[in-house]
Structure 1
Amino acid sequence: MKTLNETGVGKAIDRVEGHLKVTGMAKYASEFPVENKVYGQGINSTIAKGEILSIDTSEAENLPGVLKVITYKNAEKLKTFEEEMPPLWPDVIAPVLQTNKVHYYGEYVGFVVAETFEIAQHAARLVKFEYKKDHDAAINFEENKSKAYKPTESSDYSRGNIEQGMSEADVKVEETYTTAMEHHHPMELHAVIASWDNGKLTAYSSQQMIDANVTALANTFQIPKENVRIIAAFVGGGFGSKLNIERHVVMASMASQMVRKPVQATVTRQQMFTNTGFRQFNEQKMRIGAKKDGKLTALSHDTISHTSTTQQYQESCGFVSKMLYNVANNSIKHRLIPMNLQTPFAMRAPGEATGSFALECAMDEMAYKLNMDPIEFRVKNDTQTDLSENKPFSSRLFVECLRIGAEKFGWENRKKEPRTNTNGNWLIGHGVSAASRKAPYQKTSAKVIIELAGGEPTATIKMDATDIGTGSYTIIAQTVSEYLGIRVEQVNVEIGDSEFPKTPGSGGSWGAASYCNGARAACENVISELKNKLNLAETEEVSIGDLLKRNDLTKYEATGTAEPSEEFKKHSVFSFGANFTEVWVDKDTGMWKIKRMVNVGSAGKILNPKTAYGQIIGGLTMGAGMVIAEQSKIEPNFGNFITRTLADYHVPVNLDMANIDVIFLPEDDKIANKMGVKGIGELGITSVAASIANAIFNATGKRMRSLPITPEKLIEAPIEKQIET
């Protein structure tokens, strides 16, 4: 993997795997050359609730090229849930085709295996199902609110007395905000090639968290974990949808065992609306109280959302509200409604992306009522202690993000009163929002192999990490380059194989910190071990090539493991940021556009500004998508998604985006980890929607509390009463 770059971390180098991708040499899940491969296609239910009365597979089975039609009648018996409504997580079992019950529209009810992809798709349409439909399917959110329940004890949090805090307030904001259902839609479709050999399962599968997913597959099929191997060398995007084992992986694995051939299954774009998770609809009630001087007296954040009727997932929208601001009286509540929809799951910055919309819009509303600048109001309520954990922050450049962003954006030119900044028919508005995202760091192991060839050392680093388009290959290579003192082009990175040393996988913004510290530990160990063989002091500087030569070695390997320190556990570790947006709104049509954006982040040591910039751009685009058009709509009579393709599920394109400035603040947080690395992938989307909504208010005087903000909503919305100055 050669690239034109410099040595070590902190450099904006090109992706080391880039040429493999642009030349088509990077192998994704469905592209591995597996011999004797056949193809599988899932069949989806056409009712939202009920049971299968009969199945006619004869026409499909008689089609030339069809090898097997699998339904609950002949499927392999898998491990099923031992408790009602178990939580969905990457290491949790994924039983499928075990019963005649149907729980949501689109649930898998069958799987066809054929010699070609086209035959499998055709045969899937020939299988006929007769259903007994249950007309009490829960598919309407409002009609089923009475069924809302408290998912876990940790779903609620409180400190102080929220009612007392509200009674002490001079000014109050009590509003409800809603965020739409969204789907992940990575460019690479979910896919797998599954095969068995002497009781051992190998799955080339598009997954984010390999070790946890191995556990899920092993437990589903009730086989030893060491008998399962997952390979995910390249993953074409995930955004949370590939964190767990989805049912197509299990069906392909089951089918492979039954037909005794490798089976490839690719989830269609339409099936990704019903079978690979989504972000649920969230209704969030905010109550904020403050004194006239801007000091917060109370903040409560109550969320009602939904899960499936078979598994439980809660998006923690109130997480940001319990730690971001200095408020003594705080209350967070989460409630879930069981509905006949697929189980929702984590989507980029789950909880933060949605919860920060409600929180940061409410903070803007409060600042306006107080006649305070929105930035000054936030600064007034800054804290260096995470009051929800009663721990100091390891570092917190929150105020600096706001101040520096304001200067870069030209915030001093913002007009406080809405509808006063115009250009012809355009109303111009400026909005701000604060961002925060937990910066986790998890135990990670790696192996490094040093070799001398032609007198020059090379290094190969191995771990079961994944690269979901975020740049894992590159930052791991830069880390090895840094700690071994060799050029990046002398480093070979091998990841995405469950047979390699264990990592937590990609998700939760822990990838960069965990992977690179694992690589660091392995590199430090290989140097230490080679020095010990020569009785050299740890402080003596000797190149890795000379260490091999002096030990009369041409090859040497070492492993290393990195994990959080005791100091880490005593602190609250977060990344912080601020978003600034300028919007232009046509006062007659309600059409609006983003003119420019400024994003400021404090996320520890930036390993590669180029890949980090890409992460922020991606986050900003997804955040803008929440506001512009993204929403998955349910057909109210049948429970299927009306939005079923990218033709009607609209995502932002280049013309929707703006001139963007991204600023990374220098931050040296060695409490976070030895390298001072923090996650940034999810910080980039957090509170973006709020900055846009706040800018729209500044332009129009209309508070938009429901996403997406469409032109018709803007036209119909009333102008809010202006404050007295």
Structure 2
Amino acid sequence: MSATGTPLDRVDGIAKVTGRARYTADHTLPGLVHAIMVTSTIARGEVVAIDTAACERMPGVRLVLTPFNAPHLPRGGKAAADIPTAGHVMSLLQDTAIHYNNQPIAVVVADTLEQARDAARCLPVRYRPADAVLDFARARARTRKPDDDADSRRGDPDAGLRGAAAVIDAVYTTPMESHNPMEPHATLAAWDGDQLTLYDATQYVTGVRKAVAAAFGLAADKVRVICPYVGGGFGCKGSVWSHVVLAAMAARQLSRPVRLVVERTQMFGPVGGRPLTEQHVIAAAAPDGELHALRHDVTTCTSRIEEWLESAALLTRRLYACPNVQTRHRLVELDIGTPTFMRAPGEAPGSFALECALDELAERLGLDPVALRLRNHADVDPDKQLPFSSKSLRECYRDAAERFGWARRDPAPRSMHADGKLVGMGMATATYPTYRSPASATVRLLPDGTALVRSGSQDLGTGTYTVMTQVAAEALGLPPARVRFELGDTAFPEAPVSGGSQSVASVAPAVQQAAAAARLRLIRQAVADTASPLAGAPVEDVEIVDGWLQRRSDPAQREAISAPIQRAGGHAIEARASTRPGKERQAYSMHAFGAVFAEVRVDPKLGEIRVHRVVATYGAGRLLNRKTAHSQLMGGIVWGIGMALHEKTELDLATGRVANANLAEYHVPVNADIGAIEIAVVDEDDPHINALGTKGIGEIGIVGVAAAIANAVYHATGRRVRDLPITLDQLLD
């Protein structure tokens, strides 16, 4: 039987649509009280005083935690920032310094959410303001080199520019963007002596455990983190932010469980977001389109309290076979909250600049944009000089172009019309690295003939529950309905952060190995059992098919898998496996690839842009579930449409406050904004990435979409817009 690869419905789907799925804010405990964060209204300076007296007298108020009465944490709580991926420099009321507007400066706890909210609104705060650095354009004169691998160079880009038939020299910008998953950040904290239990909306239960334990000076085994469901993460929930530790601080102070839900306006600043980028791209090519030189200089912003790099030029190092390539990243420090991972960090904004520049280069040379990319297709990774573990990009171009109808595109701008609108067709390349980390899983075969599989992973709505159920079912020889997969608990075997599109590539091999080990133990127990019809059979001649132990040579000799377990006293058969990447990354470059084609309709008088359709094809290893994979790729494309036309965090340069910190004014796509989306996936065999040949697909769907739409807008209107989001005023005379 083959459970993987089939479009199995989500095993958690019924729980979600019926309301049985319990997200972090749905959990409750006896004696629960509610917390609201109070955040700063200045961008830089310090808190001089907070008058808590009146607030503390308000109905239901139990605690007002401020920098003036907060308990001291070991190392000021800064130990949490030493945890890779999980930790950020937090605002834990250990001092009075203000580093950005909307920074947590107090916590109000009351019997009800309404009481806590009312009291928080009435808390008077006195500041000593200081001059803040908020204007990127002014501050960019003081850039600095990041600590990370910021620069690269191969060949001689200056020589490559000389004698080129065409050179594009342009600057592209992307704005700050803010995370707005349906479920905001939330934490429920409860202490039992020195044992802390956290229900937390997170993409990394183990990371939360390590970071919070470090903040309180506890051993990691003193902290348990539970998160069975996440209402969207997209990167922002991959790190531990201030509210998590603040909730635990308040709970310990009160000796009662405390629930803290981050308000929607507090999603802008205290929990990261995508930083703005200014990208200078120079591309030079011969008359036939062969690239002679590429330069990609990225200037992006970070906070003044912590370094964050949006590495937007990394894909330029590896995507095309150009002999002379130079990339550079520089940071501008602003008085803002620290940015963070946002779906396809680096690749999403970087692909906008690179793929628009190549479109401009193709037009300058009079070449078809697809032909230009095929002319520079990299058969090996030009940066690492390694073969790709698998690469189906040529097939992606061919398939998507054919389904899109690219051949009927008239290359002249403003040449195509439909229903009184200007029609534009554009395309771009998508790519994203394939990551894999160590992971562990356990499998228990139970006396009732079912299996319980556990791993401390997370499901952000991506389908992890379902895919891991399928992997375990196939490895065990059981129908998926007889497998229960559990995740989201640090009591389970450790798994990596659900970020970087790595959950399936990392966790699935561990689940597969644990299931295979449990199956082998059951078979050995059966053949050693004199009461079994399989007694004495060679182990290699016994298989499990649809829940039955049977001989390969004589399938009539069989029994249910529950039978030998029950005869042995009903003791479950358990196996554990831990897997990790080996030396394959030293031998291969591992990436997913895709081709994205977009058609837009633009009103010639109003400048209104509608994305009529998007057609995309991807090569991303072996798909374990085509339905959940399709959903992930479609979600990425929708977000790419938002990146191209909608999303922008408007920072007030006078105060540092986000002016559109709500879902009414922070625009994201809705159903009416989305036209037809057609997705295909090339069957791809990658024997090197892991035992299942799986790559991540959670992020590649957004890569290249903004560029394809921008290129289509140019084709429709003749206006080259290099600054996102593309708005109608940029198209009007």
TM-score interval, normalised by the smaller of the two chains: over 0.9
- The DSSP-based 3-state class of the residue aligned with 2:190 is strand
Answering whether residue 94 of structure 2 is matched by residue 98 of structure 1, we say yes
| Counterpart secondary structure, 2:542 | coil
Query: Is the counterpart of residue 474 in structure 1 residue 474 in structure 2?
Result: no
- Give the match for residue 543 of structure 2: 542
Aligned partner of 1:664 among 673, 681, 690:
681
Give the equivalent residue in structure 2 for 1:630.
647
Query: Which has the higher mean CA deviation after the structures are superposed, 45-54 or 156-165?
Result: 156-165
Q: Please name the residue that 1:74 is paired with.
A: 69
- 1:293 correspondence with 2:288: yes
CA RMSD between the two structures: 1.8
User: Which of 189, 193, 198 pairs up with 2:184?
Assistant: 189
Q: Is the 8 A contact 2:83 2:211 kept in 1?
A: no
Structure 2 length as normaliser, TM-score? Answer: 0.94
Which residue is 2:695 aligned to? 678
Cα deviations across residues 153-195 of structure 1 (Å, max 9, x unaligned)?
A: 5111111122121124221011000011111100011111101
Structure 1 range deviating more: 93-102 or 592-601: 93-102
Structure 2 counterpart SS, 1:616: helix
> Does 2:507 align with 1:506?
no
In the alignment, is residue 515 of structure 1 matched against residue 507 of structure 2? yes
1:254-653 → structure 2 map (5 Å cutoff): 254-423=249-418, 425-453=420-448, 457-533=449-525, 534=527, 539-543=540-544, 546=549, 549-550=563-564, 552-553=567-568, 554=570, 555-653=572-670
Please give the alpha-carbon distance, in whole angstroms, between the structure 2 residues aligned to 1:82 and 1:592: 47
Alpha-carbon distance in 1 for matches of 2:332, 2:230: 33
Q: Aligned partners of 2:539, 2:413: CA distance in 1, in Å?
A: 64
Question: For 1:276 and 1:82, how far apart are their aligned partners in 2?
Answer: 17
Contact kept in structure 2, 1:80 and 1:95, CA below 8 Å? no
Secondary structure of the structure 1 residue equivalent to 2:696: coil
Q: Match for 1:354: what amino acid?
A: P
The alpha-carbon distance between structure 1 residues 93 and 220, as it changes in their structure 2 partners (threshold 3 A), is farther
CA contact (8 A) 1:85 1:311 kept: no
Q: CA deviation at 1:567?
A: 2.7
Which amino acid letter does the alignment assign opposite residue 127 of structure 1? L
Q: Unaligned regions of 5+ residues in structure 1, if any?
A: 1-5, 717-725
3-state SS in 2 of match to 1:252: helix
Is 1:208 the counterpart of 2:230? The answer is: no
Counterpart of 1:230 (choices 217, 225, 231) is 225
- Larger mean CA deviation between 249-258 and 388-397 belongs to 388-397
Query: What's the counterpart of residue 8 of structure 2?
Result: 13
Closer/same/farther in 2, CA of residues 83 and 381 from structure 1, 3 Å limit: farther
Q: What is residue 173 of structure 1 aligned with on the other side? A: 168
Contact preservation (8 Å) 1:386, 1:393 = yes
Contact 2:521/2:573, CA 8 A, preserved across alignment: no
SS where residue 21 of structure 2 aligns? coil
2:711 is aligned with 1:694: yes
CA spacing shift, 1:84–1:60, aligned 2, 3 Å? closer
User: Would the aligned equivalents of 1:9 and 1:482 in 2 still touch at CA under 8 Å?
Assistant: yes
Contact 1:57 1:126 (8 Å CA) reproduced: no
- The residue type equivalent to 1:509 in the other structure is S
Cα deviation per residue 1:10-39 (whole Å; 9 max; x = unaligned)?
A: 111111011111111111001113111001
Contact in 1 for aligned 2:439/2:579 (Cα 8 Å): yes
Deviation at 1:81, TM superposition (A): 7.5
Q: Secondary structure at the match of 1:542?
A: strand
Query: 1: CA distance between counterparts of 2:31 and 2:436?
Result: 42
TM-fit CA distance, 1:75: 1.0
Q: Post-superposition shift, 1:510?
A: 0.3
Partner of 1:242, secondary structure, is helix
Shift of 1:589: 1.1
Distance change >3 Å, CA 286–CA 87, structure 1 → 2: farther
Give the deviation of 1:664 after TM superposition.
Answer: 0.7
Alignment pair present for 1:713 and 2:730 = yes
Shift of 1:218: 0.8
CA contact (8 A) 1:318 1:351 kept: yes
Tell me, in whole angstroms, the C-alpha distance in 2 between the residues paired with 1:560 and 1:348. Answer: 30
- C-alpha displacement at 1:566, in angstroms? 2.3
Separation in 2, partners of 1:287, 1:355: 13
- Aligned counterpart in structure 1 of residue 128 of structure 2, from 97, 118, 132: 132
Q: Is the 8 A contact 2:89 2:306 kept in 1?
A: no
CA contact (8 A) 1:452 1:545 kept: no
- Alpha-carbon contact 1:206-1:235 (below 8 Å) kept: yes
| Pairing partner for 1:115 from 97, 111, 118 | 111
1:147 shift after superposition = 2.0
CA distance 1:85–1:216, change in 2 (3 Å)? closer
Compared CA separation, residues 596 and 172, structure 1 to 2 (3 A)? same
Q: Which amino acid aligns with 2:90?
A: A
SS at match of 2:732: helix
Distance, in Å, in 1 between the alignment partners of 2:424 and 2:540 is 57
Q: Is the 8 A contact 2:523 2:542 kept in 1?
A: no
Pick closer, same or farther for the CA change 1:484–1:219 going to 2, 3 Å. Answer: same
**1:660 to 1:203, Cα distance in 2 relative to 1, 3 A:** same
Match of 1:722 in 2: none
The answer for unaligned runs of 5 or more in structure 2 is 529-536, 550-560
CA positional deviation for 1:537:
5.5
Task: Supply the distance in 2 between the matched residues of 1:262 and 1:389 (Cα, whole angstroms).
Answer: 51
CA shift for structure 1 position 550: 4.4
Normalised to the residue count of structure 1, the TM-score between the two structures is 0.95
In 2, Cα distance between equivalents of 1:236 and 1:614: 15
Q: Separation in 2 of the partners of 1:91 and 1:539?
A: 48
Match of 2:534 in 1: none
Amino acid at match of 1:650: H
> Measured at CA, do residues 254 and 355 of structure 1 come closer, stay the same or move farther in structure 2, by a change above 3 Å?
same
Q: For 2:149, what is the secondary structure of its paired residue?
A: helix
Q: Deviations over 1:267-314 (max 9, x none)?
A: 011111122111111100001111111111111111111111111111
The amino acid that maps onto 1:541 is V
Counterpart CA distance in 2 for 1:317 and 1:366 is 20
How big is the shift at 1:89?
2.9
Give, as a single letter, the amino acid of the residue that structure 2 aligns with 1:561. S
Tell me the distance in 1 between the aligned counterparts of 2:586 and 2:618.
23
Distance 2:523 2:2 in 1: 23
Superposition deviation, residue 390 in structure 1: 2.1
Deviation of the 1:88 alpha carbon: 7.8
- 2:151 equivalent to 1:156: yes
Which one-letter code corresponds to 1:540 in the other structure? D
For 1:367-407, what per-residue CA distance to the aligned partner results, in whole angstroms no more than 9, with x for missing partners? 11111110010011011211222211101111110111111
Distance 1:179 1:327 in 2: 25
Amino acid at match of 1:644: A
| Alignment pair present for 1:655 and 2:672 | yes
Distance 1:452 1:85, change over 3 A: closer
Preserved CA contact (<8 Å) 1:88 1:313: no
Match of 1:715, SS state, is coil
Q: Is the 8 A contact 2:440 2:511 kept in 1?
A: yes
- 2:270 alignment partner, SS class: coil
